[in-house]
Amino acid sequence: MASFEEYHDIVIVGGGICGLATALALHRKGFRSLVLERSKILRATGAAIGVLANGWRALDQLGVGYKLRQTAIPMERTCDIWIDKGRKQEYLLHEARCLKRSDLVETLADALPPGTIRFGCQVVSVKMDPRTNYPTLQLDNGNSIITKVLIGCDGSRSIVADFLELTPPKQFEIAAFRGLANYTDGHKLSHEFIRMRRGNAMMGRIPITETLVYWFVGQQLAKSNTDTAIARDPKLMKQTVIDSLEGFPSDFKELIEDSNLESLSFYHIKYRAPWELLLRQFRKGTVLVAGDAMHVMGPFLGQGGSAALEDAVVLARNLSQKISAEELHDKMSIDKVVGNAFDQYLKERRWRLLRLSLQSYLSGVLFETTSLVKRFIAVTAMISLFSRDPMGHTKFDCGLL
């Protein structure tokens, strides 16, 4: 089959939360984009995702907050419990819900114009077209796409980040397991996010609805040859999780036992080092990364998804302030004006993302490390930077679209 080229104004690589939210934000500002998703259907990996108050502000700007609020119950507080120390700490939440990932991505996708998402489209490389000086995407079917603007929302293993020569994300020696438990007659759990820690294991549970509960388990576990076997066998995954919860309350173990096998997932926690957000260039010409491709972080603050939603709003706002959709389509030379818009976006986001990434990173170090020196440094930094308002990250407002 002969290969062919396509031309587009804006291409977004990745049809996850960030990619769909970015496409929707651009659509609200009058820009049409093409989202390339390698999967054949919408991805909802991870079962569920917590959305805190700052994330809901972004969803409201995207015009889908009201609809999504109907799919999940609000959480009243967060409760951290250290079993070994007999200590408990509570934080009130302004607005927080746990959404099924499928509800979130489907709602974002449904709000897009028909034809925005192209499924089963794998990008294998990005290069600059010598004729136009625009980015060219090479697809696995031999075809190519030339676009004026390229936004990489393709996660921690980003092809677009490779083009920008970003260093690969680092990895904690922490494995995370996630799943859903469905109770037809109701679970009768309180409307709060409970997180328990004992030894080198941590478990959290969050009700999504009155019948559905999301849970996650984190444990110190170096990457090994058994990872593939665990990831491919839900029964082995479930047993591995149950075995790691020695000393936890029985109702937490029962939650795992009651889980739907098809909802289980397993991965090693990745992060981009906070200092890289200060030192790295996340733009080259009219090519940019956002979401996990830019700032993947551990789940310790529950802010990965909400930060990506913020990215979408801020990015679309800055682009629309510099150039209209008509100008982007009609003009051939848009490098400078789009570059200025992207630079302003990065300027707005850098400090916010640095604080989020640093707080998340320090939380990961405290959970992972056995070094007294590292622990002392992490505790000192955490106290000096974040102890006054540990939940202050939820108060951020990304502003109007």
**Dihedral (C-alpha) 322, 328, 331, 332: value to the nearest 10 degrees?**
110
Q: What is the pLDDT of residue 112?
A: 98
In this structure, the answer to whether residues 177 and 149 fall within a common structural domain is: no
Question: Do 124 and 139 touch, CB atoms closer than 8 A?
Answer: yes
Same domain, 28 and 154: yes
Residues β-bridged to residue 49: 99
Rounded CA gap, 206 and 198, in Å? 18
Which residues constitute the domain of residue 376?
Answer: 5-71+100-169+272-395
Whether 119 and 211 share a structural domain: no
Q: Indicate if 41 and 162 belong to the same structural domain.
A: yes
Q: Domains in the chain: how many in total?
A: 2
Domain finish residue from 270, 304, 325: 270
Q: Rounded to an integer, what is the distance from CA 241 to the centroid of its chain? A: 23
Domain of 127: which CATH number? 3.50.50.60
My answer on whether 305 and 277 are in the same domain is yes
Spatial contact of 327 and 10, defined as CB atoms under 8 Å apart:
no
Same domain for 236 and 201?
Answer: yes
pLDDT reported for residue 2: 54
Are 301 and 337 within one domain? yes
Give yes or no: residues 147 and 290 share one domain.
Answer: yes
User: What pLDDT, on a 0 to 100 scale, did the predictor assign at position 141?
Assistant: 92
Query: Both 181 and 106 in a single domain?
Result: no
One domain for residues 62 and 189: no
pLDDT at 92: 86
In angstroms, rounded to a whole number, what is the distance separating the alpha carbons of residues 325 and 329?
6
- pLDDT of 352 reads 98
311 and 187 in a common domain? no
pLDDT score for 333: 83
Ramachandran assignment for 211, one of left (phi > 0), alpha (psi -120 to 50 degrees), beta (any other):
alpha
Per-residue pLDDT of the chain (401 residues; tens, 9 = 90+): 556 889 999 999 999 999 999 999 999 999 999 999 999 999 866 689 999 999 999 999 999 999 999 999 999 999 999 998 899 999 888 899 999 999 999 999 999 999 999 999 999 999 998 888 899 999 999 999 999 999 999 999 999 999 999 999 999 999 899 999 999 899 989 999 999 999 889 999 999 999 999 999 999 876 766 677 788 888 999 998 998 898 999 988 899 999 989 899 988 999 999 999 999 999 999 999 999 999 999 999 999 999 999 999 999 999 999 999 999 998 878 999 999 999 999 999 999 999 999 999 999 999 998 889 999 999 999 999 998 999 999 999 999 99
What pLDDT is stored for residue 299 in this prediction? 93
What Å distances lie between residue 271 and 157, 200, 222, 361, 383, CA to CA? 11, 19, 15, 8, 21
Considering only CA atoms, which of 342, 15, 360, 348 is closest in space to residue 164?
A: 342
